[in-house]
Chains A and B, each alone.
Chain A
Amino acid sequence: EVQLVESGGGLVQPGRSLKLSCLASGFTFSNYGMNWIRQAPGKGLEWVASISSSSSYIYYADTVKGRFTISRDNAKNTLYLQMTSLRSEDTALYYCATTLGASYFDYWGQGVMVTVSS
């Protein structure tokens, strides 16, 4: 059974940093692409970033480019999202999601809340 467990969220002041983690199990993590998708309170889904299996290909939404860094540790079955220069508009529930197929999100974690506020 595929399981994705996010952690690392919380309340942070504008301009500060935060690092999210997503621990994966139930599939061969090192073989597949991974993604971060977020959902602001009461809003829809926004894709944030994607990383290929070997980290060779990385893509970001324009809204986070230059501030967020997606990475992975295949030995630890863990996906990361380093977030810097946080803004109030980054407040959202952050989901990690798999790409076991191609270009769609097969499995989603339960999400981790990030609140950016002074």
Chain B
Amino acid sequence: DVVMTQTPVSMSVSLGGQVSISCRSSQSLVHNNGNTYLSWYIQKPSQSPQLLIYKVSNRFSGISDRFSGSGSGTDFTLKISRVEPDDLGVYYCGQGTQYPFTFGSGTKLEIK
């Protein structure tokens, strides 16, 4: 199984600041078809997870351009700029390149 390792486990940021969350996979996430199925989700308090980014760097419908994804192979990063109060929650990376699909353990973002 592909193990997804997220760092940091938690972080605190001031409003208007910028954060980066790292996600590393134990194997390359490049699919045989050439796509890399790395996605990012946010789970806000008491809510269901929501898709933010898919295939490394594509923002999902309605997602602010303050969120950006990058990376390749086994190393990926989610950046959030101009942090707003509504950004607080737990962020998960996930891989869909091979079954079983797996998620990172999450990064909790708190607002200072």
> Interface on A for B, CB 8 Å cutoff?
35, 37, 44-47, 50, 59-62, 95, 101-111
Known: A95-B49, A102-B37. A44 touches B54 (CB 8 A): no
Using Cβ atoms and an 8 Å threshold, which residues of chain A touch B94?
45, 47, 104-105
Known: A104-B51, A105-B51. A44 touches B103 (CB 8 A): yes
A37 to B39, CA, bound (A): 15
Q: Are A95 and B48 in contact (CB under 8 A)?
A: yes
Quick one: which of A59, A62, A102, A108 contacts B49, CB cutoff 8 A?
A: A108
Judge if B105 is at the interface, Cβ distance under 8 Å.
yes
Interface size class of B (residues with CB under 8 A): 20 to 34
Interface-centre pick from A44, A62, A111 (highest chain B CB count, 10 A): A44
B26-58 near A? 1/0 per residue, CB < 8 Å: 000001000101010101000011110011000
Known: A101-B54, A104-B37, A104-B94. A62 touches B100 (CB 8 A): yes
Further pairs besides A61-B100, A62-B100, A111-B48: 10, Cβ < 8 Å: A44-B104, A44-B106, A95-B49, A102-B37, A103-B37, A104-B51, A104-B54, A104-B55, A105-B94, A106-B51
A-B contact pairs, 20 of them (CB 8 A): A44-B104, A44-B106, A45-B41, A45-B49, A45-B106, A47-B100, A47-B102, A47-B103, A59-B100, A101-B55, A102-B37, A102-B96, A103-B35, A104-B37, A104-B94, A104-B96, A105-B39, A105-B41, A108-B48, A110-B48
